[in-house]
Structure 1
Amino acid sequence: MRAYLATAALARLADEGMALALTLLALERTGSAAQGAYVLTAWMAPHVAAAPVAGALAERARRPRLFYGAALAVFATAIALLGVLLGRAPTALTLTVAVAGGSCGPVVTGGLSSLLTGLASRPAARTRVYALDAATYNAASVTAPAAVSAVALTLTPALATTLLAASAACAALLTPALPLPSAHAPGPWRAPKRKRPAEPPQPPPQPPPEPESESDSGPPPPPESDSGPPPPPHPAPPLRVRLTTGLLALWRIPPLRAITAATSVAFLGVGGLPVTSVLLAAEAGDAGGGGLLMTVFALGALSGAVALARRPPRIRPEQLAALSLFSTGAALAGAAAVPSFAAAVALFALAGVGDGPLLSTTLRIRADHAPAAAHTQVFTLGAGLKQSAAAAGAALAGAASGLPPPLLLLTVAALQLAGALLLRLSCRKRDRPPPDLRWGRSPAEPGTVVP
């Protein structure tokens, strides 16, 4: 587990620092942040398109550790090349490198998380494992922007980008120690080993029965045996078929469909939270206070994830996710209503504490319900959809930046509450017992006669 946490933390530190590093690098070399924004868009855009491909390739890999190491090596190389090319090379070449590096993003997020399924069998232990994994995301979101900003302002943005590439390269070097799912947990697909046809086992010799009459004196019939040669191994389905299994699993399995829809709706608001925070702080007279609001939100999320790892609650994961979304939305709505900026900071921290368990609970639900044939794809696709929803939310918040900041923050809060409502309705629908068609009432009712 320690090797996994180190690998995930280093890889996600590099991923979280890219937005600020590219912006500062473009500003230094071109005098404008526009090219950095274009490159960042090319970096984030492939997440959804590459998610099913990355998941399918990870499931087909005969050496999963080698696959993850190669993907992280490409990820690190792309970051290093962007640090050299941005503002100096033709834009088309820079965007191509960004697309190649961004295509490895699903491996850094959902792909790595899919490896944790076999580390714990008990529900409480599994909740703790995924809470620790969520803490790596939260720690990276707090540490990466601060580290990039400090290095870029003290030295150069190019050096900050190089350090991010070094962090991803160190993660690639640690992949030989990554855990693999156990044989009893849903995990990556393995090609069955071909076996030679086995000889049918010979029954032990039996003495011939004594004939009762002359008509029964013939040799006894050979004993029948149920054992035979094993069935031929099933061939691996083609890649074009496996690319759709993750999407079908997210749609057809109710818990996966519910958590994916709820988190996508919620992240449509979370994506616009940084823009909204800056506007809210500017209205209070301190535009730089937007960074403080997002920092306390990230710190609160980190503390919430760590608290969940230490003491997992005894409620269902879907209920915990709904409670997390509700508490985050309620705290953000309170921050939009209070007139004091100090009170808004405190409520942003409280919203972060509520948001902390959401990611670990989401990972736990995916691990519990993802089928073995699409296990990694469920993780990569879920992460890609959330990333796309967050990008769309950021764009919508920028387009609506002329509205009053409290109204924007209320919209963000409403999207969290909408996600909580989706999950709550899904839990009620699943908990409702099926009706007894013979007696016209639920089997849970007293007096039901079971035929």
Structure 2
Amino acid sequence: MRKPRLGAVTLGTVFSMLGVGALPVIAALLAGEARRSELTGLILSAGAAGGLITSLVLTRWPIRRWAPESVVAVSLAATAVPFLLLAVLPAGWGGLPFFAIAGALGVPVSVAVFAVRDQESPPEIRTQVFTLGAGVKVTAAATGAAVAGLAAPAGVAALLAGIGICQALGALAVVLVGRVTPAEVAAPSIVSQAN
């Protein structure tokens, strides 16, 4: 609560995972509409393939020029775009590249979140910070899947737009929480008191 950067990326990724949790439901719905059951796996695999490619690229050329929280905000905002485009484009095989792009854009988010957690976690509770952060994201994804299942009658386009909106809200949360969360006040230095 007292670490603005940590709070910002945590809340931002909670919004993101709330949307991403709906992907398996959407993949199944799209496959049903196209009457091609294999499309379910292909949609999820396209996203994973995009993520793998970006992981390999970032292993070779890490992002070091920008603050990690900025990387999270920009990546989440960019991830909203393919989902919003998918909401208005015809469903089917032509959507696979958009899922791959969304998967590719998600990798910098994970890398940057881990960097912020590492930088902002006090050593004595680092494990708890990583565990709690992962648990909150998994819970958000599960909630997103449940909401998508309940909202399935609204249609695939509405669900895809919902994922895009969740990504945009995540980006907004990173920016706003990073600015409004009170920073932890440093303890006064013994040296400064002596002077």
TM-score range, shorter chain: 0.7 to 0.9
Distance 2:53 2:180 in 1: 32
Residue 405 of structure 1 corresponds to 156
1:308 aligned onto 2:58: yes
Structure 1 alignment gaps of length 5 or more: 1-250, 431-451
Instruction: Give, as a single letter, the amino acid of the residue that structure 1 aligns with 2:131.
Output: T
Residue 69 of structure 2 corresponds to 318
Instruction: Give, as a single letter, the amino acid of the residue that structure 1 aligns with 2:157.
Output: P
Instruction: Give, as a single letter, the amino acid of the residue that structure 2 aligns with 1:342.
Output: W
SS in 2 for 1:252: coil
Return the match for 1:342 from 75, 93, 109. 93
Residue-pair matches, total: 180
Distance 1:295 1:260 in 2: 26
- How far did residue 287 of structure 1 move? 3.3
SS in 2 for 1:401: helix
Q: Compare relative contact order (CA 8 Å, sep 6+) and give the higher one, 1 or 2.
A: 2
TM-score by length of 1: 0.39
Mark the structure with the bigger radius of gyration: 1
- Decide whether the 8 Å contact of 1:269 with 1:413 is kept in 2: yes
- Decide whether the 8 Å contact of 1:282 with 1:288 is kept in 2: no
Structure 2 alignment gaps of length 5 or more: 182-195
- 1:66-112 residue CA offsets vs partner (Å, 9 max, x unmatched): xxxxxxxxxxxxxxxxxxxxxxxxxxxxxxxxxxxxxxxxxxxxxxx
- 1:28-63 residue CA offsets vs partner (Å, 9 max, x unmatched): xxxxxxxxxxxxxxxxxxxxxxxxxxxxxxxxxxxx
Instruction: Give, as a single letter, the amino acid of the residue that structure 2 aligns with 1:392.
Output: T
- Decide whether the 8 Å contact of 1:327 with 1:354 is kept in 2: yes
Structure 1 stretches (4+) deviating beyond 3 angstroms?
Answer: 426-430
Distance 2:180 2:52 in 1: 32
- 1:220-278 residue CA offsets vs partner (Å, 9 max, x unmatched): xxxxxxxxxxxxxxxxxxxxxxxxxxxxxxx2211111111111111111111110111
Distance 2:139 2:180 in 1: 28
Distance 1:393 1:350 in 2: 20
Return the match for 2:9 from 255, 259, 269. 259
Distance 1:343 1:428 in 2: 40
Instruction: Give, as a single letter, the amino acid of the residue that structure 2 aligns with 1:274.
Output: P
When you count helix as a share of all residues, which structure comes out higher? Answer: 2
TM-score by length of 2: 0.86
RMSD: 1.6
Distance 2:55 2:176 in 1: 25
- 1:103-135 residue CA offsets vs partner (Å, 9 max, x unmatched): xxxxxxxxxxxxxxxxxxxxxxxxxxxxxxxxx
Residue 332 of structure 1 corresponds to 83
SS in 1 for 2:82: helix
- How far did residue 428 of structure 1 move? 5.3
- How far did residue 358 of structure 1 move? 1.2
